[in-house]
Amino acid sequence: MLKRILFTVFFVFLTFIGFAGPVKADNTVPIYFFWSEGCPHCKNEKPFLEELSEKYTSVELNSFEISKSSKNRKLLIEIGEILQKDVSGVPFTVIGDQVFTGYTESITSKQIEDRVKYCLNNSCPDSVVGVIGEVISEVTSTPKSDEAGQTGSIIDKVRVPLFGEIDLKNLSLPLVTIVLGALDGFNPCAMWTLLFLISLLLGVEDKKRRWILGSAFIFASAFVYFLFMAAWLNLLLFIGFVIWVRILVALVALGGGIYNIREYYTNKEGACKVTGGEKRKAVFEKLKEVTMQKTFILALLGIILLAFAVNLVELICSAGLPVIFTQILTLSDLSQGQYYAYMLLYIFIFMLDDLFIFFTAMITLEMTGINTKYSRYSHLVGGLIMIIIGILLLFKPELLMFG
């Protein structure tokens, strides 16, 4: 009898131990982290999640890179449908039945850690484990960063013809904005219409009319540029986690750079080829007709509409640099307001030469312009910079991440 009692007690003890293990396993908190190579916010969240998984041993970090894996992209889309969440951007983090889209160190990190603590002390439903299934076993944890915060060695300096060695670490987004905006501003396609308009306005006796019509043309031109850049920026932010988008922009940069360098050697006059010949003559005639309208309101509306039309055509010639610049913005860790602030700075720098020529002409009542040699050199410098940016977008996009 005593043996039976002892055996029963021992069996119950073993059974208790056997059930004790799964109870602890139930408290494991899986984190599903969807990220993309070249995404600055993902880059910031990775080390935080790694530290979190080390701090809380019951946290299980599962990492899914989506820019190179169509399987992971499909998985993300399927999870979005189940959770009824927008999956157009990364980082996308799932803990239990709660989703965290994007990452801000001061806000999101605390929210994620609070969620982990809650799930460790309570029962959080794992909403996506049924969808992910066997995929988890194939996924390794997020690669650890080295002491410098990078996942490998990077190029710190590049040698540029005419400029010598440039330390990339010392470059800043404001400097990149100013340089690209200035190079874009010297585009001959952005100048010829304004110069002809000024020549017409100098013959207008009404000083107030001269200033208003000229200013309206300049600001309408700037607004067209802003609309184009804003639309392109939002498109890149929407599909920016797809790696082929970055590759496509890189190829545009390389192609545009080669074209500009070729223009430096072949286009000695620095003229715009997109709007030449009969097209330019037709625009001049229309501009003359609009400017000489007796009714001021009609003349003003005509100038604004013509500025829209001309600048939309000019974008064929000069879209390369703004497209490249907006791609750099999407790689940077910025708020929505900062994106638009940098675009406005770019456009202001882009319009500086126009403003200078217009104000000088209106004050002195004399025609002035930019020498064609400056336009030619802008082709050379702009071409070299576009090639460098294209190469970086292809092989080292992290060097173009600011903020």
pLDDT at residue 123 in the model:
78
> Per-residue pLDDT tens for 130-181?
666 545 444 444 443 333 333 333 344 545 444 455 544 445 788 889 988 8
For the entire predicted model, the pTM comes to 0.56
276 Rama sector, left if φ>0, alpha if ψ -120 to 50, beta otherwise: beta
> Per-residue pLDDT tens for 222-234?
898 899 899 888 8
Average pLDDT, the chain: 74
Domains and CATH numbers, the chain: 2-138 (3.40.30.10), 157-400 (no CATH)
Judged against a pLDDT cut of 70, whether residue 396 lies above it is answered with: yes
Instruction: Specify which residues 32 forms β-bridges with.
Output: 62, 94
Give percent of the chain with pLDDT exceeding 90: 7
- Of 91-100, 112-121, 306-315, the one with minimum mean pLDDT is 306-315
Please tell me whether residue 270 adopts helix, strand or coil conformation.
coil
pLDDT at residue 242 in the model:
57
- Of 50-59, 199-208, 240-249, 295-304, the one with minimum mean pLDDT is 240-249
Using alpha carbons, select from 182, 250, 187 the residue that is nearest to residue 379: 187
pLDDT at residue 18 in the model:
42
pLDDT at residue 152 in the model:
34
Judged against a pLDDT cut of 90, whether residue 345 lies above it is answered with: yes
What number is the average pLDDT over the span 335-342?
85
> Per-residue pLDDT tens for 69-86?
767 877 888 888 888 887
Confidence band for 279, pLDDT divided at 50, 70 and 90:
low
| 253 vs 141, more confident | 253
pLDDT at residue 25 in the model:
39
Judged against a pLDDT cut of 70, whether residue 276 lies above it is answered with: no
**DSSP labels for 211-245?**
HHHHHHHHHHHHHHHHHHHHHHHHHHHHHTTSHHH
